[in-house]
Amino acid sequence: MKQLDHMLEVKDMKTHFYTEKGMIPAVDGVSFHVDEGELVGIVGESGSGKSVTALSIMNLIEQPGKIVDGEILYNGEDLLQVSEKKMESIRGNDISMIFQEPLTSLNPVLTIGKQITEAIRAHQKVSKKEAKKQAIDLLHRVRIPRAESVYSSYPHVLSGGMRQRVMIAIALSCHPKLLIADEPTTALDVTIQAQIMQLLKEISKDIGAAIMLITHDLGVIAEMVDRVIVMYGGKIVEQTDVHTLFKSPEHPYTKALIESTPRFHTLEDEFYSIQGSVLQTHESIQGCKYEPRCPYAMDVCKKEEPLLEDMNEGHKVRCWLHDQ
Amino acid sequence: MSTTKTDEQTDYILEVKGLKKYFDVTDGLFPSSKKYLKAVDGIDFKIKRGETLGIVGESGCGKSTTGNLIMNMLAPTEGKIIFDGEDIHSLSKRQMREKRKDIQMIFQDPFSSLNPRMKVFDIIAEPLITHKSSRGKELQKEVEELLEVVGLDPSHAKRYPHEFSGGQRQRIGIARAIALRPKLIVCDEPVSALDVSIQSQILKLLKKLQSELQLTYIFIGHALPAVKSISDRIAVMYLGKIVEITTKEQLFSSPMHPYTEALISAVPIPDPELRDARKQIILEGDIPSPVDPPSGCNFRTRCPLATEKCKEVDPKLLEKRPGQWVACHYALEHGKGIITDDV
Amino acid sequence: MTVKSEDLQTDKNKQNKEEVRPVTYWLRLLLKSKTGTLGLIIVLIIVCVAPLAGIIAPHDPTQMDATKMLTPPAWLEGGSMEYILGTDNLGRDIFSRILYGTRISLLVGITSVIIAGAIGIALGLLSGYYGGLIDTIIMRIVDAFLAIPGILITLVILSVVGPGLWTLIIVLGITNWVEYTRVVRGEVLSVKEREYVKAAKSIGVSDLKIMMKHLLPNVASSFIVISTLSVASTIIAEASLSFLGMGIQPPTVSWGVMLNIGKDYLAESWWVATFPGLAITFTTLGIIFLGDWLRDILDPRTQMNGK
């Protein structure tokens, strides 16, 4: 069957948060897949549910959140059904994740070397010496100069870019098949962001890992990925390959997002802006989530939410405009 | 225009001359020598009335310190900031309080820039009350007008900041900044904490206010696209120094400093068709620490053109082309900007 | 699909109501915490009993009766319903004395906390906001106070000036401000870096106004919690000092004085000391429960986790 071909397949996943102020459907029925070696981007603004999607796949959702429905199939096995022990081994060996803020993801009281070798030895039975060799190898691979001295230093002496490289090294320590990168460059300076993006591209080529890149920046999407998933209000609103997305976006939100990104590479200054702001997720509405901001809103949009439908080969859109 | 002043003086609302700010970061009980963080290390620029000067650079370049010096939140180590013909750091406390009406600031983080325990009305009324410019019914009316000007509903005055989204909160901050009809507003990364679609709304609002209220802006930012969309001229800073300052058009069509070129090239372009077509310049290494900057030219450790000369001689900011000031021994002869008008 | 959205709609309405009436919202939060509720009930009882002691108490707390000395509590042999908790060595009703004792405990607890808080918060604000020399001086004074045991200073002052109700209150006030200063200063150091403080400065707002309007309300949650908890510790301090004979002097009724009297009769008439002891325990426990609950709801970090 075709379905089994996908390395990762998420089916109708729902992650809800139960807070004092009521239930927040942060991710509300999301389905997509990632193939081997593919670069997939998830783009959306804050509150769109893109980060929660990533954490859900890693099964790292904490109280008061809960994955309430759906399946996350990794090579055909539902990650929501496996034991915590099995999940731990998958988290290191098969799927790794890097985060936006590398400083908080590293333990401040352990040396870089200790943290990398720990990750290596958690998943492979190797001697300490072998682990150190591998760790220094990894530091070289993420283009860290003076790897030996970085190996024995503590996280706080490194710059943001260096820390992110270390995080990538740890993520790569067990040869993952899928690397989930949640806004890996957002906290970094532009010139450092360019370095890290180049590194991620090289890595995916070198080791053939698939990368799921989560970002709010369409520029990063355009530079990096093959296929794009656009999220809004906890749902996928559009999904297609990167070229089609920028050439002929179909969902009004995608269009607005592309338009509102400053035309940096041309001299014209006019920029378009979307009215209103991203919905707070608990302000739920009956119909299409984007309806209050949408310039093309029709009567039906208020009443009922459209489904994510196939327009043509692989291009999916959730909008009533494309129902006909 | 005043007749006693020469044309040159009246032309500029703000002049910054040889501005330096060093922070003492000497550590240890018995330090062998004093250590300084050279946040701003000798910068000069002028701003014409009604124009927008963008200041762009990466972390540690001193752009925010520059903003704080202009706001008189910090005292400079050396140099002068001349606003409307007066050096603001030589003013008495009382004179400075008066002057504050003319220089206001818009902040980066819309969540920390509004006091969570104050209602929107009180936040916007605070500058008016402080300078006793209005009270009672008049104050009420003025606050409501300000809310409308920035695109908020006057009835929102009774609410607390936490009830608003980031973009709306930034509008409240803007209303507070324009309440006293200032002449100059220092915008310290006002859109970098906002979502892309909201950023353009705020930039649009700033542009509208500029023409309606004849404002002069200093727009500090780390993201070139936002800075570009609002500025007339742009100063690029690196490690406490201005490396290039020129008009927006010149900067993007023919940048002359290799750092400017790399900075522009590093910005991801939202067009996948250009992904492989263009050659991205990726700088090696990290930004050095401003406590211990490299000898000679600050940028030489990452510069693809660096030579022995750059190690020894610190390049001066010189006018290499009309209106384009560059601090580089080997300013790029033919700007290789990525601007392509045919896209 | 539609049905579910409607559910959410009602959810949203509920939440709006809460925002409109914060008191009910807080009360609901309180009722979720068992210890918090218990604490509030105990504190409410004490606060009601103190002014009403004259009405509730069956006897005059100072009225002696040589015929009823050391009567045991009602449920023991020889006890009577007239003296529910028995009488002390001079035949005074223990129950009535405990009721009257709440007045002194609350008076000492609250007044000295107000004195300590006022000194501590003011110095903490100055120290944190101005920094530099002012900060150094204030913090060195704080260090000095921390280095000397508070009870020792208290005892020294009380023995020099002589014991008495107001002396006690003032002494407890001026020995307990240190904690406020430290906590408020710490909070101010972080709050003053927020951009709204910078905004106020750039507008030209005076330092005093910045401290009162921008800093104080935003550090309030920290000292409200300390104040609550230190009312409890001050009540204990008052009792201990009175027990030692250095605090409240008879014939004023205080739990500490009662303990002092009771200590001589522990073997044969345990009730004389036990009931005032229990009163102290319940009161302080109630206040601490309430304080802990306040800390939980005032701290946004714990609020997030608190399901």
State which residue of chain B sits closest to C218, comparing Cα positions.
B117
Check if the beta carbon of residue C260 is closer than 8 Å to that of residue C242.
yes
Nearest residue to A14 via CA among A262, A236, A271: A236
Average pLDDT, chain A: 85
Cα angle value C54/C58/C235 (rounded, 5°): 55
Among the partner-chain residues B199, B262, B341, the one whose CB lies closest to the CB of A191 is B262
Res. A277: pLDDT tops 80: no
Contact between chains at A194 and B265 (C-beta distance less than 8 A): yes
A25 interaction partners in chain C (CB closer than 8 Å): 8
Q: How far apart are CA B299 and CA B293, in angstroms?
A: 9
Neighbours of C177 (CB within 10 A): 24
User: Is there a domain that residue B145 lies in?
Assistant: no
Give the A window 52-81 contacts with B, CB below 8 Å.
none
Q: How far apart are CA A195 and CA B237, in angstroms?
A: 20
Check if the beta carbon of residue A99 is closer than 8 Å to that of residue A170.
no
Q: Does C3 touch chain A (CB under 8 A)?
A: no
**Mean pLDDT confidence for B89-107:** 90
A267 interaction partners in chain B (CB closer than 8 Å): 249, 252-253, 339, 341
**Local structure of residue C211 (DSSP, 8 states):** I
B340 interaction partners in chain A (CB closer than 8 Å): 265-266
User: Is there a domain that residue B57 lies in?
Assistant: yes
Tens of pLDDT along C157-194? 888 988 888 888 998 898 889 989 999 999 999 998 88
Q: Does C213 touch chain B (CB under 8 A)?
A: yes
Q: Does B276 touch chain A (CB under 8 A)?
A: no
Among the partner-chain residues C195, C196, C204, the one whose CB lies closest to the CB of B100 is C204
CB pairs under 8 A between B and C: 57
Contact between chains at A189 and B338 (C-beta distance less than 8 A): no
The pLDDT value recorded for residue B304 is: 86
Contact between chains at A63 and C307 (C-beta distance less than 8 A): yes
The pLDDT value recorded for residue C16 is: 37
Res. C294: pLDDT tops 70: yes
Tens of pLDDT along B164-197? 888 899 999 999 999 999 999 999 999 988 888 7
Tens of pLDDT along A61-97? 887 888 998 999 998 889 989 888 888 888 878 898 8
The pLDDT value recorded for residue A285 is: 66
Q: Which chains lie within 8 Å of chain C at 3 or more CB pairs, if any?
A: A, B
A202 interaction partners in chain B (CB closer than 8 Å): none
Instruction: Name the minimum distance, in Å, from the CA of A157 to any CA of chain B.
Output: 11
State which residue of chain B sits closest to C195, comparing Cα positions.
B113
Percent of chain B with pLDDT over 70: 93
Using CB atoms within 10 A of its CB, is residue B275 exposed (0-12), middle (13-18) or buried (19+)?
Answer: middle
The pLDDT value recorded for residue C9 is: 29
Contact between chains at B115 and C198 (C-beta distance less than 8 A): no
User: Is there a domain that residue B150 lies in?
Assistant: no
Contact between chains at C202 and B100 (C-beta distance less than 8 A): yes
Q: Does A89 touch chain C (CB under 8 A)?
A: no
Res. B89: pLDDT tops 70: yes
**Mean pLDDT confidence for C136-145:** 92
Q: Which two tokens stand for residue B277?
A: 């077509």
Instruction: Name the minimum distance, in Å, from the CA of A25 to any CA of chain C.
Output: 10
Q: Which two tokens stand for residue A33?
A: 């897949």
C-alpha neighbours within 13 Å on the C-beta side of residue B186: 26
Instruction: Name the minimum distance, in Å, from the CA of A26 to any CA of chain C.
Output: 13
Res. B124: pLDDT tops 60: yes
Contact between chains at C307 and A18 (C-beta distance less than 8 A): yes
Q: Which residues pair with B218 in a beta bridge?
A: B53, B186
Q: Which CATH number does the domain housing residue B199 bear?
A: 3.40.50.300
**Mean pLDDT confidence for C229-247:** 87
Nearest residue to A274 via CA among A289, A297, A252: A252
Contact between chains at C6 and A286 (C-beta distance less than 8 A): yes
Q: How far apart are CA C31 and CA A93, in angstroms?
A: 46
The pTM is what?
A: 0.82
* Number of domains into which chain B is organized: 1
State which residue of chain A sits closest to B249, comparing Cα positions.
A267
The pLDDT value recorded for residue C295 is: 79
Instruction: Name the minimum distance, in Å, from the CA of C182 to any CA of chain A.
Output: 26
The pLDDT value recorded for residue A265 is: 57
Instruction: Name the minimum distance, in Å, from the CA of B90 to any CA of chain A.
Output: 36
Domains of chain A plus CATH, in order, are 3-94+176-322 (3.40.50.300), 101-175 (no CATH)
Contact between chains at A191 and B195 (C-beta distance less than 8 A): no
Q: Which two tokens stand for residue C286?
A: 């109630």
Q: Which two tokens stand for residue B92?
A: 């008495």
The pLDDT value recorded for residue C137 is: 94
Cα angle value C113/C114/C117 (rounded, 5°): 80
Q: Does C132 touch chain B (CB under 8 A)?
A: no
Nearest residue to B20 via CA among B39, B37, B35, B41: B41
Tens of pLDDT along B130-139? 988 777 889 9
Among the partner-chain residues C2, C12, C303, the one whose CB lies closest to the CB of A22 is C12
Contact between chains at C203 and B103 (C-beta distance less than 8 A): no
Concatenating the DSSP letter of every residue in B270-303 gives: S-GGGTTTS------S-PPPTTSPPSSSGGGGT-
Neighbours of C256 (CB within 10 A): 28
Tens of pLDDT along B265-297? 888 888 888 887 777 888 888 888 888 889 999
Domains of chain C plus CATH, in order, are 97-299 (1.10.3720.10)
- pLDDT bin (cut points 50, 70, 90) of residue A16 is very high
Angle, helices C216-243 vs C94-130, to 10°: value is 140
Q: Does A64 touch chain C (CB under 8 A)?
A: yes
| Amino acid letter, residue C26 | W
Check if the beta carbon of residue A155 is closer than 8 Å to that of residue A208.
no
**Local structure of residue B37 (DSSP, 8 states):** E
Contact between chains at B112 and C217 (C-beta distance less than 8 A): no
Check if the beta carbon of residue A310 is closer than 8 Å to that of residue A250.
no
- pLDDT bin (cut points 50, 70, 90) of residue B2 is very low
Residue B264 main-chain phi, psi, to 5 deg: -65, -40
Cα-to-chain-centroid distance, residue C155? 21
Residue with tokens 């101010």: C188
Tens of pLDDT along A194-227? 988 988 988 888 888 999 999 988 989 999 999 9
Question: Which residue out of A153, A189, A205, A290 would a mutagenesis test of the B interface target, given it has the greatest number of B Cβ atoms within 10 Å?
Answer: A189
The pLDDT value recorded for residue A6 is: 87
The pLDDT value recorded for residue A263 is: 67
Among the partner-chain residues C196, C204, C206, the one whose CB lies closest to the CB of B115 is C196
Print the domain residue range for B220: 7-102+182-326
The pLDDT value recorded for residue B132 is: 81
User: Is there a domain that residue B288 lies in?
Assistant: yes
State which residue of chain B sits closest to C16, comparing Cα positions.
B163
User: Is there a domain that residue B141 lies in?
Assistant: no
Residues constituting chain A: 324
The pLDDT value recorded for residue A275 is: 58
Q: Does B262 touch chain A (CB under 8 A)?
A: yes
The pLDDT value recorded for residue B309 is: 86
Among the partner-chain residues A46, A190, A219, the one whose CB lies closest to the CB of B195 is A46
Residues constituting chain C: 307
Among the partner-chain residues A21, A286, A304, the one whose CB lies closest to the CB of C15 is A21
Q: Give alpha helix (H) positions in C176-270.
A: 178-191, 195-203, 207-209, 216-243, 255-262
Give the C window 17-46 contacts with A, CB below 8 Å.
18, 29
Q: How far apart are CA A217 and CA A260, in angstroms?
A: 11
The pLDDT value recorded for residue C14 is: 34
User: Is there a domain that residue B135 lies in?
Assistant: no
Average pLDDT, chain B: 87
Pairs from C71-74 (Cβ < 8 Å, separation ≥ 24)? C72/C269, C72/C271, C73/C271
Check if the beta carbon of residue C53 is closer than 8 Å to that of residue C103.
yes
Check if the beta carbon of residue A220 is closer than 8 Å to that of residue B271.
no
Q: By three-state DSSP, how is residue A209 classified?
A: coil
Contact between chains at C5 and A18 (C-beta distance less than 8 A): no
Instruction: Name the minimum distance, in Å, from the CA of A106 to any CA of chain C.
Output: 21
Measured CA distances, B219 to B54, B232, B297 (Å) = 5, 10, 26
Q: Does A291 touch chain C (CB under 8 A)?
A: no
Whether omega before C251 lies within 30 degrees of 0, making that bond cis, reads yes
Using CB atoms within 10 A of its CB, is residue A33 exposed (0-12), middle (13-18) or buried (19+)?
Answer: middle
Res. A228: pLDDT tops 90: yes
Neighbours of A311 (CB within 10 A): 15
Nearest residue to A219 via CA among A193, A187, A253, A250: A193
Q: Does C301 touch chain A (CB under 8 A)?
A: no
Q: How far apart are CA A28 and CA A48, in angstroms?
A: 10
A222 interaction partners in chain B (CB closer than 8 Å): 268-272, 274-275
Tens of pLDDT along A238-259? 999 999 999 889 999 998 888 8
Scored b (16 or more CB within 10 A) or e, A247-257 reads eebbbbbbbbb
Question: Which residue out of B267, B274, B339, B340 would a mutagenesis test of the A interface target, given it has the greatest number of A Cβ atoms within 10 Å?
Answer: B267
Q: Which two tokens stand for residue A80?
A: 């929501």
Chain B residues bordering chain C (beta-carbon distance below 8 Å): 71, 73, 96-98, 100-101, 103-105, 107-109, 112-118, 126-127, 130-131, 173, 176, 180
Most confident of A252-266, B14-28, C23-37: B14-28
- pLDDT bin (cut points 50, 70, 90) of residue C11 is very low
Check if the beta carbon of residue C8 is closer than 8 Å to that of residue A28.
no
State which residue of chain A sits closest to B166, comparing Cα positions.
A277
